[in-house]
Amino acid sequence: MSLLYRFVFLLIFLFTIHCGVPKGEFGWSTSQADKLDLLERHIQMITDYKMMRDGLIFSPNDTIHYVYTFSRSPGVETDFYISLNRYELDYVEIDIKKKNVEAMSASIRDSFSQLRTGEYLIKIVHEGEVVDEVKFQVLPEEGYTEETIEQELAAEQEDEIIKYSR
């Protein structure tokens, strides 16, 4: 009888290991989509990604392409939400997209463009649970100087004043 209990326990244990959504890895690539014409933008396919999650810095002129590759396939019918958040006083969601996993590669691919300077957070979400997340920064190409910081703060304040004065 003890052998039967061990076997059932082993089956339950193995089943719970393979349940749930698997984790994965982020990959990144950039392009200058504003320099391409409309047709080139539509047929452009990014195939080379650098797999990393730390020290990510991009330019506001970059189109940021990412891939999230799962360690094992979560199923092609599984819906995921990709949440892009920008740091203000806390992270504020600025974009959300519904995506499905590519059957051949067990990956999700997408891109973001025309991001303002700042700190960002991408979250991969399934059924309300965050599967994975990564932070990155968008910095001006010329870097930060005291003048660019003051200009950015003044622009944000002006927008807020106009926004709330109407």
Q: What is the CATH number of the domain that holds 137?
A: 2.60.40.1930
**Tens digits of per-residue pLDDT, 68-103?**
999 888 887 888 999 999 998 899 999 999 999 988
**Tens digits of per-residue pLDDT, 17-67?**
445 678 899 999 988 766 666 666 556 667 788 999 898 999 998 889 999
Residue 152 falls within a domain, yes or no?
A: yes
- Strands of 129-138's sheet in order across: 57-58, 129-138, 118-126, 79-87, 91-100
The phi and psi torsions of 117 (rounded to 5 degrees) equal: -65, 145
Residue 3 falls within a domain, yes or no?
A: no
Residue 98's domain comprises 21-165
Q: For the chain, what is the domain count?
A: 1
Residue 7 falls within a domain, yes or no?
A: no
Residue 137 falls within a domain, yes or no?
A: yes
How do 118-126 and 24-31 pair as beta strands?
unpaired
Residue 34 falls within a domain, yes or no?
A: yes
If we measure between CA atoms, which residue out of 65, 67, 69, 72 comes closest to residue 22?
72
If we measure between CA atoms, which residue out of 132, 19, 128, 125 comes closest to residue 72?
19
